[in-house]
Structure 1
């Protein structure tokens, strides 16, 4: 019998699931608080004078309270929809929360206008006072970004229209994915696979399974391509129209601002990666030789080498992760152990679940929840460690003001990937034999290939897609051509078969909250490599420094964060080269172990 449950506990927040009476009452309170905030902002704006310190302080307090409530509600509805894609009430609740969020966002645009009206000198002095000092950076960021947007009335209209327009296309895509099924012949028996279950089987060690399933996978997404293309074109069109009216000429302006990083940092990172792909191409070719193939197909890239990749039951994965976290940070290990014991993780492999994995926070309760589908693979162990890294990041920030907790995706991916590295390196060191060691090293390299090649392909695709979309709708055939071309460029022509419908199958392209949901992953991977190198040098002394770094992630740019805590300049190639070198070291070890 399993020690840890594979099904999470959501009743601790609001008992009764999507029919929860307590959640209904919570939403009513939230509606009231959003409206009270809106009225308070309108009253301050209608006073005809620059808002004084007391008015701003009162509005900030209301804003932060509503922010926490919205995060709590959104997390609950998201968890319900993910665990059961047939829960229509959960979808309705998510729509109601989305509407509330739009009303709140509309009020925030007017609040930002109040901040804009404060003279620069008075504003600088205000940020030095309590209660503003602890949230000075995010407040100043709001004021600065507001100056680059449209008038409050126009921004409010955009937010209102986005609910059933922009964000509606994301929901339409999710609905379509919820109906996605592949009928697959498994050992002579026909099974119906959801998108998440099928994606897991694409990593099967049995190539016959991968070949047959990938053919079905491509066909299924081709059958759904018209719907996916509609969603992708419409949400991109919405973004481009908003950017045009704001006078923004770069589609990267918003994602870079959200991730608090400069375009120079982004370009330097990709340049260093692109210059260092040769070892990874060699790895892909060596792997093809080991499989007896002329070149790898898309579905072979993540396939394990050999048959030594043992299954890892959930309980064993839990013990392994806690033990390996403890070698670096007792605090992190204690947190992970608590997450397993208190049923913070939904990992059961069953039909009806949404594909992928995520971690979401309930800031009022001070807890997080992790969602994934666990199938006893090494990749699943890595995903579990990854999401626990996210959860620990939020955990160390729970006592901070709501605005100071709002860190960007790229630094969020830093904490998660750092957690993966701890587990992966320790697992390699504890391997019982050569075959297991090789399999674990190869699993690490697969993640490097994902961040350096797969994610790069997504970035190249979206960059070109948005340029084409400016000229009009981009058809299914064009999207497939763009996707395959991006994959060929990112993988340096190393594969023999690509995944032209990847743009349809990857839900990240349809997330409206963060445009260009790709490069932050690679940033986080390499940034965490730099942090990991410091942790290895400093040992236990780095635990508290790491927590300090995480607590600063919502209060400065990534360039400032790196300078303050690591003493490095992210706009120069040196840091990125050192991080890539760590990944190349794994490749060199693999090549040495597999040479004939």
Structure 2
């Protein structure tokens, strides 16, 4: 059984995309960057100890108790009524309570991820999470009892109760959970035990990772800055960073192995009790995507390894003057890559200009993130690595977190997260229960926004060396998004499958990691000693098992979608905005139909992958002209 929409991943638990290597140099001149914005969480609450924060908690608790007293055990009778006594009224009340809990959880989560090293914020996050779970105990019955109603009863109520009919898509999605739900007491036990189980190990991972330091050339650096050095222009610096990462990861391998073993077992227990056949079926269900569609994607990407990653890294090794690159050279900038720091204002103008060329409305929405302090950009101790966009609740607005260092990939990351933000603003009109887009399609707007920005910059670039550097960087980002994420998914499948036979040793997990990495990266990259530990820092394995294929899904989808846009005479923007506004109210087949696309068709994935191959072809042509 899924968690409530207002405490599940992406709503209460923040969506944390895989940290991209967003800079070639961690020593950007702060003056060159300009003034970097910090988000204003007072839009949600003045302070953690404010009267508004306390009152909302008390209000939510009282409303939840009253909701339970009024509706528990009465839904069968309510289905025969309309108005304030009908099921529609109950769903409205349920959604309204969720709005309050979502705001509380968002505030605590955002404050924590902005500075997880602060003990008071860790306590706020833990206490808020615990109290929301306690309050939700009074609401847990609702979806379970609603799903026990017969199909005839539900269909009849949808026809007679206009207020319930508004939630038709949510009801349809909820009914898909019916075969996997347990009795109320058992579901409540699973929910409450998650606080001392999965949630506790998630926090252990976060706090352990936040506290790690990596010694590079005599300096102790946090994870974000050390990862960024893997894109440094100097090979010696990249090697030093890679070895520092490996040394610290290895020292903490017992802890990370325990976390992985525990959460893999936790996932297996949940799946077994809830009647899921495949280890990833619960993720597929929450994503509203069929297993065979994900299998087709995985097979298409795996078959394309030689044409994509293997081929590209062989070319890159030649450009770097190497027969074989070490793993720390994978994200090295090309020799012709110009080194400069991009000021924040330039990054802002670049993204807004690209968005505006596609749609002025899209740029207007994105501009609000800058003008109204919805973005947190500086790097600081304790801040979450990587980047994310968090929707909060429909009555508020999304927030974006980036770690901006003024490099080209940082501009692409900003474009990516603002795509999420625009999507979340548009989908918010669907309300709390129906605004959340399944993860597979949640990456569509972000990758599309990134593509718009890249294409706009590429069109302005006439110098062959600069164009080659831009194309190479884009290909690497796409390989990281498609090839690397499918390899991550295959690694997870190996780990979770083997965990069913017993606890895994550190060496076993590391061997599984190395096997999928060797297959996906190809012979042009040498996976030297130390790299076997690099699985430890990927947060998705901990926070969102099997999430990672959503990136490949989104990238391939956008590649196909962008091809439609390039060939469309008119009307594309309207269709695109309709897709974003739909939120979670439509299945991917419905959303893609207006564009003539079908993700269930195996040829769909080949079409998306061919765009990456085309960019590699262009790089090869440029290389031959030199």
TM-score bracket, normalised by the shorter chain, equals over 0.9
8 Å CA contact retained: 2:38, 2:375? yes
- Paired residue for 1:292? 321
3-state SS in 1 of match to 2:379: coil
Establish whether residue 329 from structure 1 lines up as the match of residue 375 from structure 2: no
Alignment of 1:457-476 (within 5 A): 457-476=487-506
Partner of residue 197 from structure 2, selected from 155, 161, 165: 165
Residue in structure 1 matched with residue 64 of structure 2 by the alignment = 34
With the length of structure 1 as denominator, give the TM-score of the two structures.
Answer: 0.93
Residue 154 (structure 1) aligned with residue 186 (structure 2) = yes
| Unaligned 5+ runs, structure 2 | 1-30
- The answer (yes or no) to whether the contact 1:261–1:559 under 8 Å persists in 2 is no
Which residue of 277, 283, 293 maps to 1:265? 293
2:162 to 116, 130, 134: 130
2: CA distance, partners of 1:545 / 1:71: 30
Change (3 A) 1:105 1:409: farther
Change (3 A) 1:398 1:113: closer
Tell me which of 402, 405, 423 is aligned to 2:453. Answer: 423
SS of equivalent to 2:321:
coil
1:590 to 606, 614, 619: 619
Kept in 2: contact 1:71–1:363 (CA 8 A): yes
CA deviation map 1:112-139 (0-9, x unaligned) = 2322343322312323442223321221
Determine if the alignment matches structure 1 residue 569 to structure 2 residue 601. no
Distance 1:33 1:493, change over 3 A: farther
State yes or no: 1:382 paired with 2:382: no
Q: Give the deviation of 1:352 after TM superposition.
A: 2.4
Task: Give the secondary-structure state (helix, strand or coil) at the position aligned to 2:180.
Answer: coil
Q: Which moved more, 1:59-68 or 1:49-58?
A: 49-58
Query: For the Cα contact (< 8 Å) 1:233–1:474, is it kept in 2?
Result: yes
Please name the residue that 2:311 is paired with: 282
Q: CA deviation at 1:354?
A: 1.7
Matched residue, 2:246: 218
- Closer, same or farther in 2 for the Cα pair 1:207/1:41, shift >3 Å? farther
CA contact (8 A) 1:82 1:353 kept: yes
1 or 2 for the larger relative contact order (CA 8 Å, sep ≥6)? 2
The number of residues matched between the two structures is 587
Contact 2:375–2:399 under 8 Å retained in 1: yes
Decide which moves more: 250-259 or 537-546.
537-546
The alpha-carbon distance between structure 1 residues 457 and 192, as it changes in their structure 2 partners (threshold 3 A), is same
Give, in whole Å, the separation in 2 of the partners of 1:516 and 1:40. 38
How does 1:232-247 map onto structure 2 within 5 Å? Answer: 232-247=260-275
Q: What are the superposed Cα offsets for residues 469-505 of structure 1, whole Å, 9 maximum, x if unpaired?
A: 1011112111111111111122234421263222211
Cα distance in 2, alignment partners of residues 278 and 408 from structure 1: 30
Cα distance in 2, alignment partners of residues 542 and 283 from structure 1: 32
Q: CA deviation at 1:515?
A: 2.7
Counterparts in 2 of 1:107 and 1:29: CA distance versus 1, 3 Å: closer
Task: Tell me the SS of whatever aligns to 2:41.
Answer: coil
Distance in 1 separating the partners of 2:589 and 2:136: 28
**Aligned in 2, Cα 1:52/1:203: closer, same or farther, shift over 3 Å?**
farther
1:250 aligns with 2:284: no
* Structure-to-structure mapping, 1:178-577, within 5 angstroms: 178-185=210-217, 190-280=218-308, 281-306=310-335, 307-497=337-527, 499-511=531-543, 514-538=544-568, 541-563=571-593, 565-577=594-606
Contact 1:348 1:374 in 2 (8 A): yes
For structure 1, the 5+ residue unaligned runs are none
CA contact (8 A) 1:396 1:550 kept: yes
Within 2, Cα distance between the matches of 1:460 and 1:162?
26
Please give the secondary structure, in 1, of the residue aligned with 2:400: strand
Instruction: Quote the offset at 1:406 in angstroms.
Output: 1.9
Q: CA deviation at 1:105?
A: 5.0
Query: How large is the RMSD of aligned CA atoms in angstroms?
Result: 2.2
CA contact (8 A) 1:385 1:420 kept: yes
TM-score w.r.t. the length of structure 2 is: 0.89
Query: Cα distance, 1:587 vs. partner?
Result: 0.6
SS of aligned partner of 2:216: strand
Give, in whole Å, the separation in 1 of the partners of 2:80 and 2:207.
Answer: 44
Which range moved further: 519-528 or 85-94?
Answer: 85-94
**CA distance in 2: counterparts of 1:438 and 1:335, whole angstroms:** 32
Match of 2:108 in 1: 77
How far, CA to CA, are the matches of 1:8 and 1:15 in structure 2? 13
Matching residue of 2:119: 88
Encode CA deviations 1:62-90: one digit per residue, 9 max, x unaligned: 22112222322222212211221222222
Deviation at 1:540, TM superposition (A): 6.0
Between the aligned partners of 2:320 and 2:220, the Cα distance in structure 1 is: 29
Counterpart residue number, 1:67: 98
Residue number in structure 2 paired with 1:114: 145
Q: CA deviation at 1:166?
A: 1.5
Between the aligned partners of 2:293 and 2:440, the Cα distance in structure 1 is 12
What is the CA-CA distance between 1:296 and the residue it aligns to?
2.2
SS in 2 for 1:367: coil
Q: Kindly indicate whether the alpha-carbon contact (under 8 Å) linking 2:254 and 2:506 is maintained by their aligned counterparts in 1.
A: yes
Give the match's secondary structure for 2:586: coil
Contact 1:385 1:419 in 2 (8 A): yes
